A and B are shown apart, each in its own frame.
Chain A
């Protein structure tokens, strides 16, 4: 009698304790896992796996479970459906991912109503964060990296510039930010070329630029074939030999560098992250990610996912695994931490990610592989798109 009572109590105790330990915090990540941008989805998966490998899959005793949803292209209706499904069906406490701005905007509306903190891993339009106090971002914005590009040009004695950007939101954002800063510093913009997104032949544009003879060319190209074409055209038209420097932001993605070959040597870009960043934390991130996903080449897209999880983990810790959007957001406002990219901070008022922006030049490392080598840091940059400086 006493034995069975004791056994029963033990069983009950185990049941209760495992129930307590078994509480899972679900995180919903919306990513392009298939389709033309699936490379980026795969990079996010690799970075997320690396994060969970390094930091574990539990936070303060709560298991973090990631639910992935595939959003292959710009499809706000689908994005909203996923957000609703994740919140209502899967009961996620946090949302993340979101590569494109229209998708992020559509999810923002849902997250705001449901009071679910959402960490944007990529969508780079400044104004997204204005849509809801529950939005955070761990990537960057175009103004954030384009202002330092202009400063770099001014500092390195570039007097005249021609800008060449793709004719859509991010391209125009970076063009505006660059031109404003450059002109304010005494520089002269000879011409501002906006190329349609569908453009594949940049030869004519390079000829135009060559004829205008600026000291440098400021470029924005979206990831993929257009950027590939821009860099190929730049090198073929002999602009480098003609002394026209190439200043860009994210055009020298590590995924594309092998394809460019030597044509990419010497290209200057200002961006928030390079896999070649010489810190131990970064090396650990890169090596863990390549173990988890050997076929994936890490680039700046990945760090958004890595730090996005860091922020989510912090929020889970702060709320002790309980659903409380307001408390979570309040906890990370003003949070400063060390990321593989360098020191980062979430601005307490704007919720934007303040981070170092680096000047990188493409060169070859010891094994002859092309990389974005960080030459200097411009220090911690706010999102210039939302700061008074550019208004």
Chain B
């Protein structure tokens, strides 16, 4: 391997079919979101849940898929964002957008503080440290039950209508579009990060940190910045979740949530951002259907699916999508007349 060979994933990015319109992915997400709204108008609760979890999964995809930081404690940022938004609504202002910002800032800060310490570690050690961080935050939230409500959860805060007009009522329509809008904007932002030189360096670090270091790159700074951006997005996701459900609870910091979103990200595929959304939609849809059919056996289904993906489809479901797209473009090329 020479110094001039590009990392595999970057090569993939350059040969991937260039989207014609500059905002094509975001338009696609928005369209699918509108379609879902029209097709399942009575399931908005579930759909909103899928949207907020997708934002959370995107943040983990950035951290894991782009920078190679294996975290099993990502719920720390999500939960902190949720509590921050709830407390903000309770004590400062019930404006939803400001609450979202508060959640994002809280997630960012936690990522900064914990990342500064953790990111010197690697592999299993790093994983355990992320778990410990989330666990310690959970214990703290439980201890400070006077502020956080402890395991009863934080309730009793109001969320003002969005833009002063659209109330967050029980039909869930406002909540849905709020989450969808956030997803589209977050996806746009993260895509810009991933496609930028910064993102390129992050992926190079994931491939071979030593080489990047030798070339003069600052590995640690890059990792930390990626982690912090991930924290910001996770915090936003937590804030939206709290605002749309009107509850912040300790389960938002729990290991099971961290493990669950990790499974979603891996299921969808870590190599591309879109994998996060794909994985989340797949996981939560399967859960919804399986739980409806046979709740007692849901764990069996997800376990088998995970094994299947890890063994046969390590690139995740997005790999299937890419294969299909590649086959379609090859067919198109082969059907073009020879010059």
Contact = CB atoms under 8 A, between A and B. Distances in A.
Interface stretch (A79-87, A282-290, A313-321): A79-87
A38 interface: yes
Interface in B40-82: 42-46, 48-49, 52
A38 B296 CA distance: 8
A167 B142 CA distance: 9
Contacts of B250: 74, 102
14 contacts: A38-B295, A74-B251, A77-B52, A77-B247, A81-B46, A82-B45, A88-B42, A88-B44, A106-B155, A113-B169, A113-B170, A127-B152, A167-B142, A172-B150
Contacts, number: 105
A168 B142 contact: yes
Contacts of A167: 142
Given A70-B298, A74-B250, A102-B151, 17 more contacts: A34-B296, A38-B295, A76-B153, A76-B245, A76-B249, A76-B251, A77-B245, A80-B45, A80-B244, A85-B43, A85-B46, A88-B171, A101-B152, A105-B152, A127-B152, A169-B145, A169-B150
Interface in A142-199: 167-169, 172, 196
B153 A102 contact: yes
A109 interface: yes
B170 A84 contact: yes
Given A74-B249, A85-B45, A125 B152 contact: yes
Nearest to A42: B296
Contact of B296 (A33, A80, A85, A196): A33
A168 B292 CA distance: 31
Contacts of A391: none
Given A70-B295, A85-B46, A89-B42, A106 B245 contact: yes
Given A101-B152, A169-B152, A34 B45 contact: no
B246 interface: yes
B151 to A, nearest CB: 4
A191 to B, nearest CB: 19
Interface string B133-158: 00000010010010000111101000
B172 interface: yes
A57 interface: no
B171 A81 contact: no
Contacts of A102: 151-153, 247, 249-251
